[in-house]
Structure 1
């Protein structure tokens, strides 16, 4: 069987039952689906497009393995002829998308799929699953980047993430948003993200003497001496570190920083900084962790807490204040004819579309325009072709490139909010025309 994350059965049942119905009706014309977010969640001024690389990997390898087809046959839901059709199922359509790291807004398609309707339909569930999660996490993580400019930020969230894949992809999304690295080792191997680590309270507790724990860890990890000092008495531990530092220095070992993980972090940081400075150890930094997010970072820095870096995990990797987006994937055209959903509160803008970004004279975002694909418009087009006939177009955009793209856009954010997204008159006219038709 395919690995679970790449299996064609990692989908909703209704995708397969619709495919059976399309097959029975001989519906094979080209469909156009677009992925967008209906509204910004509370506390977000923009979103960051993330997850495209995993989507492209998924559709490139999409197929039904023999044992998956055997399982489907045993369910007695699907005809033998349809299961034979699935044996050679592959995605050979086109994908246009905003580059990963692009800042975007509600009702803007950030990915468009053009393919035979069975292919475009089947990928819906996994596609949203991949885009939604990383976009949610990246859009939360970037708020920490904005709250703590110039500070070291490390993803600490694996242990609280909702599963192994979530932990890995959260590390990726955080790095894309501007974090400096992650504690998740496999993310280093898989994505080339810098990996950071310290020590646990258990290491300190396992030693009879706190100073021995600090010394032995330093001897074991001389190039990365970060000592956790709040297992017992934080200030007493800081004094022990201050006394130990010259001894280690004589052996060529430098204590990089101390870590605080509990209590009043601002108060502890000030006390520890004073102890270290009084001992002439101004070069030892202070790193803090413990249920942090952008709001806590703002409070700590507003209090002038002398903290050099932060480990931020649980609240960001789960996007705890807004754990989901109203992210959808909707049919906008079939067999060359525009389509429009008209459900109350969930109406869509029909047809293939492009998003254009317009800037002020000084380079800030001014407004965006959502237009029909072939409609001329001012501004920079944001949707680019990244897959044609099932094959990638051009070289893959690297995670480092996407990270740079985020960093380049943040200084250009709009001066005033809410941000304006215009729907062109031609697109509005098309929607009104379809609304007049009988269904």
Structure 2
């Protein structure tokens, strides 16, 4: 298979072994009827009041391209685990079914289905790890990005994470998810090319060191480009700002203008205030200040609360790894098989049966989701909609720009109690009476066995 937007192929063997061992038994025993698997977040951490749903378009691309190639079949055969009948089954495998999903960029919460796959049991089972990987990671990063946007609503935010995230492919997904979650752009050119995300870049300290002379380095950069942003903290930040001012005055004579300076180290609060003072005294009030260097929502909130006159932030490591909460407790579970609801009763890991219907309401400043059995007549708009059908293709799948706009609309409407970056309230979840009754009925049947 090949992901849209990626420059390399990803094998359909990007699955866990047990998915294929289970699938082989399903095939042997004739368990090929339609199954529904559901992706949901088991729980949110203490400092997350919501999640921003992302990763749908890459997941659909993966599903559409599910194929086992000859060399992959040969490898499976070499393991001496899989029987010829199953290898033949895999050789002809393709996705036939439906995908239901929230719209990308939607504000989600724990427990609710964010995506559901309806397909023959072996096929739906095989997709587990790869689909879960894409949805989990992008949702994790989009949520992190939204928290940064929440504390800096009017600032330019740029993803600088490519060099520190856990893999080249992760860099692409960080750029995509952070853009959906409120960022303005990325330094990642591949993501920019494939997704149409605005790209930003300044210069590194190595550039200054290569010249050995800060003023000369600044001048040569300014001669070459129109969009001029100078990195001022290579040696001494105060002197670097003064050198940037000197070059700005010189290039004004040629019709060019210094757009911004960037500070990447030191006491950012102190140095940002110093920079603003020097720039203003020099008649450069329109020159912006960009900050970078191990930033996240916590440090940015502190800087802005203390009056840091920053205009833009480049955020890398702590965005791309979601450093404070580096994982999301998601699951991909069977909820319906051949029209019958199924559930787990495992302690702290119970599941809810059936393909769902989903609504969202806000009452008295608080938001909650209502989960019901598919087909129930409920007030409000269905939020878990069919987005892909193997016979019809994609149905209203959002572009990355549309997902971003959806997030912005959703985030603006979200009550502030859920946006707090420390110990926020969590969006509530309720079940319909019918679904509650079905859960009781299924549990009684389980206990009789």
- What is the TM-score normalised by the length of structure 2? 0.94
| Paired position in structure 2 for 1:206 | 210
Distance 1:419 1:129 in 2: 24
Note if contact 2:2-2:62 (Cα within 8 Å) is conserved in structure 1.
no
Deviations 1:341-377 (A, max 9, x none): 110110011111111012348xx66321011111122
Out of 431, 441, 444, the residue aligned to residue 423 of structure 1 is 431
Distance 2:357 2:140 in 1: 23
Deviation at 1:268, TM superposition (A): 0.2
| Paired position in structure 2 for 1:111 | 115
| Paired position in structure 2 for 1:383 | 384
Distance 2:2 2:144 in 1: 32
Distance 1:178 1:61 in 2: 29
Q: Secondary structure at the match of 1:81?
A: helix
> Size of the alignment, in residue pairs?
436
| Paired position in structure 2 for 1:283 | 286
Deviation at 1:155, TM superposition (A): 0.2
For residues 72-151 of structure 1, the aligned pairs below 5 Å read 72-151=76-155
Is 1:26 matched up with 2:27?
A: no
Deviations 1:64-112 (A, max 9, x none): 0111111111111111111111111000110000011011111000101
Note if contact 1:69-1:83 (Cα within 8 Å) is conserved in structure 2.
yes
Structure 1 pair 321–391 and aligned structure 2 pair: CA distance change class (3 A): farther
Q: Secondary structure at the match of 1:358?
A: strand
Note if contact 1:226-1:255 (Cα within 8 Å) is conserved in structure 2.
yes
Structure 1 unaligned blocks of 5 or more: none
Q: Secondary structure at the match of 1:84?
A: helix
Deviation at 1:395, TM superposition (A): 4.7
Is 1:70 matched up with 2:70?
A: no
Deviation at 1:412, TM superposition (A): 1.1
| Paired position in structure 2 for 1:248 | 251
Distance 2:255 2:2 in 1: 51
For residues 14-413 of structure 1, the aligned pairs below 5 Å read 14-221=18-225, 223-360=226-363, 366-389=367-390, 391-413=392-414
Deviations 1:159-198 (A, max 9, x none): 1100011111001000001101000110101111000000
Deviation at 1:148, TM superposition (A): 0.3
Note if contact 1:60-1:390 (Cα within 8 Å) is conserved in structure 2.
no
Q: Secondary structure at the match of 1:67?
A: helix
Structure 2 unaligned blocks of 5 or more: 418-424
Note if contact 1:358-1:380 (Cα within 8 Å) is conserved in structure 2.
no
Note if contact 1:42-1:322 (Cα within 8 Å) is conserved in structure 2.
no
Distance 2:52 2:199 in 1: 23
Structure 1 pair 108–5 and aligned structure 2 pair: CA distance change class (3 A): farther
Deviations 1:386-426 (A, max 9, x none): 11135423354111110000100112113553322111121
Distance 1:348 1:331 in 2: 9
Structure 1 pair 85–57 and aligned structure 2 pair: CA distance change class (3 A): same
RMSD in angstroms over aligned alpha carbons? 1.5
Note if contact 1:2-1:65 (Cα within 8 Å) is conserved in structure 2.
no
